[in-house]
Structure 1
Amino acid sequence: MSVWSHCRRLCVGFAAAAACVAPVHAAPDIVIGQVAPLTGVIAGTGDEYVAGAHAYFSHVNARGGVHGRRIRVVVKDDGYKPDLTVQHTRQLLAQDDPVALFGFVGTANILALNKQKLLSEAGIALLAPYTGASDLRDPVNPHLFHIRASYTDETAKMVEHLHTIGLKRFAVMYQNDGFGKSGLAGAEQATRKLGLELVASGHYDRTKPEEVDEAVKAIAPANPDAVIMVSVNRASAAFIKKLRAAGGRAQLFSISVVNFKELLKNAGEDLARGIGISQVMPFPYSPSAPVVREFHALMKQYAPDKVISYASVESFIAAKVLVEALRRAGPDPTRERVLAALQNLRDYDVGGFKIGFGPEQRVGSRYVEVTVIGRDGRLLR
């Protein structure tokens, strides 16, 4: 006698019959891999970059997932160390079999992936790397999908903005790696376009972000009108304090990866006031754009203890882009299908902000605006 014949003989009445229905297996999760700095010198940024995406993915899962499948994000902490980025990515690819990678942080970290050819060998897309380095955009890497403007775009915008208000003597303080050098190159190109040259530049070691004395010595004597800082939070705060202590009165501008609240905390409100910061995402502190209103509502619901910031709204937008690509990839997404779906995602409106890719286009947005730290520690547009 078969198992199911035996079951039918034992089932008496509706309730018993219902218990004998063949089990229904849930559809397998869609796995996404993320490596981010949850410890180390930019742990705050890493935490925010994970949190915004978590809020949107949680919302999608609560509504049934994508084609009935839940999204599961496997997150590993690299401490902003490139060797750990490579190690964790290898583990993710081998053990978790993700259909896409998402939200990695750091120029040197992603350059390390490229050097090892991990993305191309795995045939997998990495969406929304938190970097604007030109080395990761030119030449085009078909596996990297950027949703933010480049550091070259940002520094050029700052130079152009400052020149319109009469400033001509520019200097750059930068992190001595691909991240910092990309911003330096953008500033040099922008000044040459205006018939000018940088009056000074100074750098610091990425592993020692608070040791900026040599950068101050290189820049302060040149008496620049403005200094553009292509640096992380701690280095920027240290430079602000030491430049002011050395008598430097230049206007200070920072690249988008800096968190203005960290500047306020580490440099102090008096020194931070008036600092300009370029931004590459919609203003997250006033829910004027539809995507920002949605972001606020879902952060409140799914990540109420996390910070509202440019980093968290950026990862929220990136998560929306990835979910749309997963939908377009169909009920059985593969690495190849997700990569193709991203490539064909053109002028996708996430809610008042558009992202678009193409066969030879991997930079989804070149939007840049300039904000300023105002009184009472508020960021102003």
Structure 2
Amino acid sequence: MKLWTFAAAACLAAAVPAVAAPPIVIGQVAPFSGPQAITGKAIHAGAKLYFDAVNARGGVRGRPIRLVTRDDAQKPEESVRLTRELIAAEAPLAMIGTVGTTNLDALAKDGVLVQQRVSMIGAVSGAASVAQAQGMHIVKASYHDEVGRLFSQLAGVGVRRVGLVYQDDGLGRDVLTGAEAAARKHGIELAVRSGYPRNTVAVEKAVADMVAARVQVVFLGATTAAGIEFVKQYAGAGGLGTLYGMSIIDTDALYKALGPERSRGYAFSVVLPLAQQTNRAVVREYLQLREASRDANLSARSIEGFIAAKALVKVLEGTANLTPAGVTAALAAARSIDVGGYLLDFSAADRPGSRYVDFAMFGEGGRILQ
């Protein structure tokens, strides 16, 4: 009787499937529609590329990662509402990749991340206000780092008159503040400042202002769509200044829109590793996974999401307390996260996780010169 009972129990146990490990939920509220959808989709594609690779090798301590998204259409009030909704409904361990200074500033002002002890990694902004916000971690250099390094180099080669085109919102005002400080420091005349309305491509006035001022260099503190439109119109209006775009302008999208001839000579800030920098392990890993992917949203901006996702996984793997509060504490204490030849330090409360800034330019046939 005892033998039969044991055998029956064994059969029943074999028939019951093992309980799957609960997933680790990561949330993303970003623009998947509207004027900045190209950026939201690119950041999401990069993060998903890495999370999928982690899941393919068994997840984090046997737990798969589930990336849950909401579309804020780049509206700050929606960023706040949907972040609150996602945290309440899905209980994510962390957030990732919300796009836009104004949107991130709205989240910081609302206080939902601090209240719920949920941190965000890979906040897509380089503004000082975002870098200083509690619970938000940026994986690239700040806008002030970008413009300061550029003006230093321009002064070194004798450039003295620069024009600034900026989006008239929190992003643009932060860039303007940084540009004015850098101009004073390096003896450059900021000859003209011209804004355009947020989330539009209404750059006609900015084009006219830059052409009339005959500046040597135009620095584009613009988003992707507006940046592309400015480059088109500036050339058509006879503008002769060298164009330097901020890192937030998607160079893949710009090159696709302009083609090899019109994009030639366009220079841009580099605050994350370029695809050609295969001396970095993170680039080799990214390219290998991208090659095997069919995600049409992968672009030059996607490595930002990829690096944010990889940094987050490294923190998760090294943290015993896998709760929102535990992950928040671990991120805030992280001093040296090596994602593969690219280091991040989130321990300082007043600056982004990286200070790396370089520059590149489109050369003949679309070749990127650095």
TM-score, reference length from structure 1: 0.91
Counterpart of 2:301 in 1: which secondary structure?
A: helix
SS in 2 for 1:198: strand
Contact 1:48/1:306, CA 8 A, preserved across alignment: no
Partner of 1:105 in structure 2?
99
CA distance in 1 between partners of 2:120 and 2:316 (Å): 13
Measure the CA separation in 2 of the matches of 1:8 and 1:310: 64
Deviations 1:42-79 (CA, angstroms, capped at 9, x unpaired)? 22222121111111111111222112211111011222
In the alignment, the residues of structure 2 paired with residue 115 and residue 13 of structure 1 have an alpha-carbon distance, to the nearest angstrom, of: 58
Instruction: Show the counterpart of 2:278.
Output: 287
Sort the Cα spacing of 1:8 and 1:212 in 2 relative to 1 into closer, same or farther, 3 A: farther
Q: Where in structure 1 are there 5+ consecutive unaligned residues?
A: none
2: distance between equivalents of 1:231 and 1:258? Answer: 7
Matched AA of 2:358: E
Q: Name which of 152, 155, 160 aligns with 2:144.
A: 152
Q: Write the distance in 2 (CA, Å) between the matches of 1:6 and 1:77.
A: 59
Q: 2:117 aligns with which of 115, 123, 146?
A: 123
How much does 1:116 deviate?
1.4
* More divergent stretch after superposition (333-342 vs 43-52): 43-52
> Equivalent residue for 1:66?
60
Q: Which moved more, 1:247-256 or 1:33-42?
A: 33-42
Q: Deviations over 1:140-192 (max 9, x none)?
A: 22211111111111111122222222211011001001111212222211110
In the TM superposition, residue 219 of structure 1 has moved relative to its aligned partner by 2.4
Instruction: Quote the Cα distance in structure 1 between the aligned partners of 2:150 and 2:279.
Output: 24
Identity rate, percent? 38
The residue aligned with 1:54 is 48
In structure 1, distance between residues paired with 2:9 and 2:110 = 63
Match of 1:371 among 357, 360, 367: 360
The question of 1:313 aligning with 2:303 is answered: yes
Residues in 2 aligned to 1:219 and 1:76: alpha-carbon distance in whole angstroms: 38
Moved more, 96-105 or 262-271: 262-271
Partner of 1:202: helix, strand, or coil? strand
Size of the aligned set, in residue pairs, is 370
Q: Which amino acid aligns with 1:151?
A: Y
Is 2:191 the partner of 1:199?
Answer: yes
Aligned amino acid, residue 318 of structure 1: A
Match for residue 241 of structure 1 among 228, 232, 238: 232
Residue 265 of structure 1 and its aligned partner are, at CA, apart by 3.2
Equivalent position of 1:261 in the other structure: 252
Q: Which structure's CA Rg is the greater one? A: 1
Deviation at 1:238? 1.7
Bigger Cα displacement from structure 2, 236-245 vs 125-134: 236-245
Q: 1:72 to 1:305 in 2, by over 3 A?
A: closer
Cα 1:9–1:315, aligned 2, differ >3 Å: closer, same or farther? same
Shift of 1:237: 1.9
Q: Aligned with 1:352: secondary structure?
A: coil
Name the Cα RMSD after superposition: 2.2
1:180 to 172, 183, 203: 172
Shift of the 352–214 alpha-carbon distance from structure 1 to 2, 3 Å rule, reads same
- Whether the aligned pair in 2 keeps the contact of 1:172 and 1:229 (CA below 8 Å) is yes
Gap change, CA 1:342 and 1:157, over 3 Å in 2: same
Matched, 1:274 2:265: yes
Superposed displacement of residue 306, structure 1:
3.5
Partner of 1:296: 287
Which of 309, 321, 324 is the aligned partner of 1:335?
324
Residues in 1 aligned to 2:36 and 2:369: alpha-carbon distance in whole angstroms: 23
Q: 1:42 to 1:9 in 2, by over 3 A?
A: same
Rounded Cα–Cα distance in structure 1 between residues aligned with 2:230 and 2:369: 22
SS in 1 for 2:18: coil
Structure 2 vs 1, CA of residues 147 and 203 (structure 1 numbering), >3 Å: closer, same or farther? same
Using the TM superposition, give the Cα deviation of residue 251 of structure 1 relative to its aligned residue in structure 2, in angstroms. Answer: 0.7
C-alpha deviation, 1:218, in angstroms: 2.5
CA contact (8 A) 2:32 2:40 kept: yes
After superposition, the Cα gap between the structure-2 partners of 1:66 and 1:213, relative to the gap in structure 1 and judged at 3 Å, is same
For residues 23 and 261 of structure 1, the distance between their equivalents in structure 2, rounded to whole angstroms, comes to 47
Distance in 2 between the 1:255 and 1:194 partners? Answer: 19
Residues 260 and 373, structure 1, Cα contact 8 Å, conserved in 2? no
Partner SS for 2:190: coil
- Normalising by structure 2, we get a TM-score of 0.93
Q: Residue 115 of structure 1: CA displacement?
A: 2.1
- Residues 329-351 of structure 1: CA distance to partner in whole angstroms, max 9, x if unpaired? 22x51111001111221122111
Structure 1 residues 239 and 343, CA, compared in 2 at 3 Å: closer, same or farther? Answer: same
2:307 is aligned with what amino acid?
I
Q: Cα offset for 1:129? A: 0.6
Residues 337 and 344 in structure 2, CA contact (< 8 A), matched pair in contact too: yes
Q: Distance in 1 between matches of 2:276 and 2:34?
A: 26
Residue 23 of structure 1: CA displacement?
5.1
Q: 1:267 to 1:184 in 2, by over 3 A?
A: farther
Residue type of the alignment partner of 1:220: V
1:193-232 matches, within 5 Å, as: 193-208=185-200, 210-232=201-223
Q: Residue 125 of structure 2: SS of its match in structure 1? A: coil
Match runs of 1:22-37 below 5 Å: 24-37=18-31
Match 2:313 to one of 314, 323, 332: 323
Does the aligned pair in 2 maintain the 1:156–1:187 contact within 8 Å? yes
| Unpaired segments ≥5 residues, structure 2 | none
